[in-house]
Structure 1
């Protein structure tokens, strides 16, 4: 049985002091620091930093490498991987959106097994009406999916269903590593339980691609709070137990961490000049 790890951090609550940020940043690689500093908003910096810390924590706890011995690179599709062939069985994926950064991962029995995770905040601030927004997004959903979305009478419920479907699609394409450049209309989900609840994990959702049922795929849907849905896409993973997300605070996130780059106060001073996104 594969043990699926499901971790979450509310980065909206991540407000480190300068000393705390210096320590956190020292726990990621130099090239990761270079990527992080390019973010314009502080929210994006924090959410991405947390994602990198979650990855390192996961590989340290479930792989065979010490914390400071872990080195990440990216595969030909841009997905982060552990740069060590002995750890090719470590599968993980990270997503951040809304208020949370989440990680899902496991130790694979088969090299072809995979995982993808996506989180969506059930919110829309695009400026257009919901009907007009849906019209513009028509080509990204199948007839079956639109029927399921529009069967709800209230716009809020339609939006929940829309975000749920989008989250499922993202989890699938992140698993296979192609991004949303594929024809999303050919990726069609069949929803068998209308409502997601924080007290329940939905596993009954099925997928068809180009009209063919994906029998070796399994999807977990979580509502981690009333405003955020999460989908985990598992491919060719057998006998894995379902479970809720575990939430970490900043202290727990850095527990057992080790310094991998030099302390850099100047870097962190530059970080603190960034602004938060306006609500």
Structure 2
């Protein structure tokens, strides 16, 4: 196995990626058993994101574990979190997410560390106004989060704050592998202080990093030890570079952007 950083972060932009017959070609790169996962979707955009997600995880593990592309075998843990079937003496935890034109991936080989990732596009609701849309989620937000969302009078900022908090919640439940079985209103997120760029949850010892893929798409990475061990220095240093909740877009996410040529290089 290649030496891996504490967290490996990859991003794939699927806009126009599968044009000109590339969709059919890329689908054939996957085992037949995975084709149904892609083709079950009605719309091309959904198929492209699903395909991109499956390709991105194979690219990562083929490149860094040195396992031939088609010999990689995946499964799901209790709670439905995806996992790579690998020797018992090797720890690898990973997670994927996709939204809009982006697919994102995070992995770690730190023993016992688990990771979650959520990609969120800030879409203006079409059939209702923004305050009404946000109120429909009140049962899944803490009192403090609701107050913070509506503290600003600018509706677009309200919407942005909501999606950032939602990304934090999703990334956490994906990290621990429980899906949305956890009551989300029990997860309350905030900036640690006005001056420190830390995102914290009121319980447990988890690290969060929020950044931007583009002006309309944010991504949140969550990492931590289920047994509540302190976070590694490297993980803390990464979390310290987060964009604070509610801050304006100022930098792109620290992800390696994977391109078509890179994917095709690991077919064998």
Tell me the equivalent position of 1:117: 117
With structure 1 as the length reference, what TM-score do the two structures score? Answer: 0.80
TM-score (norm 2): 0.83
Determine which of 252, 258, 261 is the counterpart of 1:251: 261
CA positional deviation for 1:23: 3.1
Q: How far off its partner does 1:55 sit?
A: 0.5
Structure 1: 5+ residue stretches without partners:
195-201, 259-279
Q: CA RMSD in A?
A: 2.1
Contact 2:116 2:172 in 1 (8 A): yes
**Counterpart in the other structure of 1:227:** 216
Q: Partner residue of 1:14?
A: 17
Question: Aligned pair count?
Answer: 243
Q: Please give the secondary structure, in 1, of the residue aligned with 2:12.
A: strand
Match runs of 1:123-272 below 5 Å:
123-192=123-192, 204-208=198-202, 213-215=203-205, 217-236=206-225, 237-240=231-234, 242=238, 244-258=254-268
Q: Which moved more, 1:241-250 or 1:93-102?
A: 241-250
Contact 2:140/2:183 (CA < 8 Å) preserved in 1? yes
Residues 81 and 178 of structure 2 are in contact (CA less than 8 Å); yes or no, is this contact kept in structure 1? no
Determine the C-alpha separation between the residues in 1 that align with 2:166 and 2:90: 29
Indicate the structure whose relative CO is greater, using CA pairs within 8 Å and at least 6 residues apart.
Answer: 1
**Contact map agreement 1:2 1:238 (CA 8 A) in 2:** no
Distance 2:160 2:76 in 1: 33
Checking the alignment, whether the CA contact within 8 Å between 1:141 and 1:184 is kept in structure 2 is yes
CA contact (8 A) 1:59 1:90 kept: no
Distance in 1 between the 2:31 and 2:201 partners?
37
Cα deviation for residue 184 of structure 1 reads 0.5
Matched residue of 2:125: which SS?
coil
Residue segments in structure 2 that go unaligned for 5+ positions in a row? 226-230, 239-252
